[in-house]
Structure 1
Amino acid sequence: MLALKKFLDRSLAAVCVVLFALLVVIVVWQVFARQVISDPSTWSEEAARYTFVWLGFFASALVFSERGHIAVDFVVRKLPGLVQRVIAVLVQALIIAFALIGLVWGGLRAAQGAWDTNLTALPTQIGVMYLVMPITGVLITVYALYHVVAVLRGAELAVAPTDDAEAI
């Protein structure tokens, strides 16, 4: 499972870098076209918006893989180790439920509902943008399962360290 996580981490990081670079190029072109050549491009605003959405979803999955998401755990840190592990597993189970119901199922429904709606400036459908939701939902589910197994095996702390000093 560690090999799968490392592969997904590297792949997601590469995709995020490519999407970020693409977003920068699109926005620079948009500004250049509007300000320098006085001929605003018709496609760049939509392309930037959808690239930003995809980047945001994939980057959030990558942050989740590193347990870098927001967690209010000051009370949990004061509890005994076994209770911390139980809470960590329950939290991951809730995350899996949200990822599967909200992102995978909801994202598939949203994509299906918008699949026949064309974008005005790009040669694709709005449903394509919504496909990032189920993809990210599957990724987050895999990462949450990884964290559950790691916490139960003792390979990860039940509560993620807050800084490098605690990780040692």
Structure 2
Amino acid sequence: MRQLVKLIDKSLAASLIAAMAAILLVVVWQVISRYLLKDPASVTEELSRFLLIWIGILGSAYAYRQKVHLGFNLIVNRQSETMRRLIMTFVELLVVTFCVLVLIVGGNALVSLTLDLNQISAALGVKMGWIYTVLPVSGVIMVFYSFINIYNLWIDESQEPL
């Protein structure tokens, strides 16, 4: 299980690094083509927008795993260890519920709808459903991380967390 978690962590981090490098190159090319060549590339604006969507949504899953997302722990940290674990488990279950309902179910509905309607992006000619697949993918990753967090809350202190 630890190997799977490490593989997902590294794959997600590598994907985000690659997407950040790609958006940097795309935006630099857009500036060069617009101001130096006086002939703006038509696909760069749309590609950078799609990359930003993927970076933002997958980045939220990565931030959730690294526990660097916004949180208010003042009340939780003042509780006993058992109560803290119960509260954090409840919060994790709320995250699972949100991710399943909004990101996975709602995201799949959005992907299906846009694929059925055959929505195509203007400049790239890509089906918009493929762009929106980041929603259910990120939802699945966040649900996985939520269960890992719950497991880590309740494991024995002598064991290494996942």
In the other structure, the counterpart of 1:159 is none
Q: TM-score, normalised by structure 1?
A: 0.89
Offset of residue 154 of structure 1: 4.1
State the AA in 1 paired with 2:141.
L
CA RMSD of aligned residues (A): 1.3
Secondary structure (helix, strand or coil) at the match of 1:75 reads helix
Deviation at 1:59, TM superposition (A): 1.4
Amino acid at match of 2:120: N
Aligned counterpart, 2:151: 149
**Paired residue for 2:62?**
62
The answer on 1:2 being equivalent to 2:10 is no
- Secondary structure at 1:113's aligned position in 2? helix
Give 1:161's aligned residue: none
1:131-146 equivalences under 5 Å are 131-146=133-148
Deviation by residue 1:81-128 (Cα, 9 ceiling, x = unmatched): 110000010000000111111101111111111121011100211111
Give the percent of matched residue pairs that are identical in Structure 1 and Structure 2.
28
The equivalent of 2:160 in structure 1 is none
Match of 1:78 in 2: 78
Contiguous gaps of at least 5 residues in structure 1: 156-168
Amino acid at match of 1:134: P
The structure 1 segments of at least 4 consecutive aligned residues displaced by more than 4 Å after TM superposition are none
Consecutive unaligned residues in structure 2, runs of 5 or more: 158-162
Residue 37 of structure 2 aligns with which residue?
A: 37
Q: Closer, same or farther in 2 for the Cα pair 1:131/1:109, shift >3 Å?
A: same
Structure 2 length normalisation: TM-score? 0.92
Q: Distance in 1 between matches of 2:54 and 2:86?
A: 33
